[in-house]
A and B are shown apart, each in its own frame.
Chain A
């Protein structure tokens, strides 16, 4: 195996990055793929959802922060199911920003890629969940990724942030001669028929063209329940919400396949 590292990113918060990332981990695990989810956000929301979904304790031998300090993440991994591994986090991770200040400006953004390169062979897919900002966490996650998708919630601020995100990704790749690729833009529709959503969707399609995914995510009450109580697949509404994410995942994987050809 030579795992592909995927990142769903926008440095605007609350656009559905974490839910999407956890859902995709869940779905690929169900498909029998070997997946690693890294919660690289000190808020630890992805860790919380995974704990609820799998009713697991998720206590690694070494915390992610300790693993990063030691330059080896292998002892920070916990097995969630036969298919899914996770590197959970807690708020001690926020101390890492101070710890990397001693590292040169150039090297501090490529610490995670070096550590992940040793783990990639064990997985089909690696997902990194990041905080909504641009800092040493997100820069490391970007540099460690092979494929990045921008998540754009249909509101003005999210659209502007997606432009800044695209600019930042381009600059970072140029500076480091990186090899990650932009897969496209995933729309997160708050109210699909509302005026603002329609306008921002049209604006995004005009700007990003065919880069905008045909499948989008729509606000669903059931998804909020997943975030609180974990993902479940029992009744009609669960299946409907999961199907929506499955369509986005399928398109994402297809686009990645096309980029690799």
Chain B
């Protein structure tokens, strides 16, 4: 569906609510285990702790950003 009023306010509202997701989301995306060097892991863990985020979300953002720069 085109970018209509609901799409716009829904995204904006989600951002304003700090990406709060509805409990009626079907399911979270599956994850896979990857290996990190211990020094990097400690750094990521610290960032996650300081930002009160899950490690998987911190890694997702960093990797996505890295991948986007490669393009």
Q: Which A residues contact B (CB, under 8 angstroms)?
A: 105-106, 109, 134, 139, 160, 163-164, 166-173, 175, 179, 181-182, 184, 207-208, 211
**B51 part of interface (Cβ distance < 8 Å):** no
Inside 8 A of B1's CB, which chain A residues have their CB?
A: 173, 179
A156 to B40, alpha carbons, bound, how many Å? 42
| Given A163-B16, A164-B13: A169 touches B25 (CB 8 Å cut-off) | no
Per the 8 Å Cβ criterion, residues 1-40 of B in contact with A are: 1, 4-7, 9-14, 16-17, 20-26
Is the CB–CB distance between A134 and B24 below 8 Å? Answer: yes
Q: Which of A105, A109, A139, A169 is the one whose CB lies under 8 Å from B10?
A: A169
Is the CB–CB distance between B24 and A139 below 8 Å? Answer: yes
Inside 8 A of A172's CB, which chain B residues have their CB?
A: 22, 24
Is the CB–CB distance between B6 and A164 below 8 Å? Answer: no
Q: Which of A105, A164, A184 is the one whose CB lies under 8 Å from B26?
A: A105
Considering the complex, give the chain B residue whose CB is closest to the CB of A163: B13
Inside 8 A of B22's CB, which chain A residues have their CB?
A: 134, 164, 167-168, 171-172
Is the CB–CB distance between B9 and A171 below 8 Å? Answer: no
Inside 8 A of B5's CB, which chain A residues have their CB?
A: 181-182, 184, 211
Considering the complex, give the chain A residue whose CB is closest to the CB of B19: A167
Q: Which B residues contact A (CB, under 8 angstroms)?
A: 1, 4-7, 9-14, 16-17, 20-26
Among A139, A166, A181, chain B packs the most CB atoms within 10 A around the CB of A166
Is the CB–CB distance between B10 and A171 below 8 Å? Answer: yes
A175 to B5, alpha carbons, bound, how many Å? 17
Instruction: State how many angstroms separate the Cβ of B19 from the closest Cβ of chain A.
Output: 9
Is the CB–CB distance between B26 and A170 below 8 Å? Answer: no
Cross-chain pairs A/B with CB under 8 angstroms, 30 sampled: A105-B26, A134-B22, A163-B13, A163-B16, A164-B20, A164-B22, A167-B10, A167-B13, A167-B14, A167-B17, A167-B20, A167-B21, A169-B10, A170-B13, A170-B14, A171-B24, A171-B25, A172-B22, A172-B24, A173-B1, A173-B6, A175-B25, A175-B26, A181-B5, A182-B5, A182-B9, A207-B12, A207-B13, A207-B16, A208-B9
Is the CB–CB distance between A181 and B24 below 8 Å? Answer: no
Inside 8 A of A166's CB, which chain B residues have their CB?
A: 6, 9-10, 12-13
Inside 8 A of B23's CB, which chain A residues have their CB?
A: 134
Is the CB–CB distance between B21 and A170 below 8 Å? Answer: no
Q: Which of B6, B12, B13, B16 is the one whose CB lies under 8 Å from A181?
A: B6
Inside 8 A of A211's CB, which chain B residues have their CB?
A: 5, 9
A179 to B7, alpha carbons, bound, how many Å? 12
